[in-house]
Amino acid sequence: MPEPTKFKCQLITWGQVARLVNKLAAQIRQDGFQPDIIIAIGRGGYVPARLLADYLDMMNLTSIKVEHYLAGAHRQAVATVKYPLGIEVSDMNVLVVDDVSDSGDTFTVTMQHINERSTPQEIRTAVLHHKTVSEFTPDYYAARVIKWRWLIYPWAQVEDISGFIAELEPCPDSLRDIAAQLNESYGIQVPNDLLEYVVSKQERVVLDEP
């Protein structure tokens, strides 16, 4: 049977997220930009945007939802706005936040959508990670990813790892086998408690009795 598609992944911890958000907030303050509102790009930008609002002492936070990656690393051909911006942001300084700039399509669609619905005074963008392969470069990014890899954030661990396990061939029959295949194929070491929870949701994986 064919082996699962192999590509490099990285598990991002909550501690790393906190440090990245702190770095973003420092960049924005040092730049002198004072946003009137933060717009999170859902779903990946929800948590970073809320944390950044806290670090910047901001109350005005809203979101739009752009669909590009449907499940794990599987991706649609074109990014589309599923849930549009629900408020008027004309004459405001707007900060648009996502977790990562990967291809850049999500930001391109988001910026076009905002400008079609409002006339902001200024729009700036921020991400935790900016991949240099992206066609869109955010105004602020806490880390730059030169060698492409799939980033697994804490708010997407179950979804991403579930997708990876579903593609493992042959179907593994033990947690040890699953962990070994994930490490070999994606370069990640998944904590046992997380792995046990993900496997408990998998219909195709039937573990051998101990």
The SS3 call for residue 101 is strand
Per-residue pLDDT tens digits for 48-69: 999 999 999 999 999 999 987 5
> Taking a C-beta distance cutoff of 8 angstroms, is the pair 38, 95 a contact?
yes
The SS3 call for residue 86 is coil
- pTM (2 decimals)? 0.89
Quick check: 210 pLDDT over 50? Answer: no
Domain boundaries, the chain: 14-145
Task: State which amino acid sits at residue 67.
Answer: E
Residue 57: Cβ within 10 Å count: 7
Structural fold of domain 14-145: Rossmann fold (3.40.50)
How big is the CA angle at 48 (ends 104 and 32), to the nearest 5 degrees? Answer: 85
If one compares 131 and 170, the residue with the highest pLDDT of the two is: 131
Per-residue pLDDT tens digits for 158-187: 999 999 998 888 888 889 999 999 999 999
Scanning the structure block, which residue is given the tokens 């295949």?
A: 181
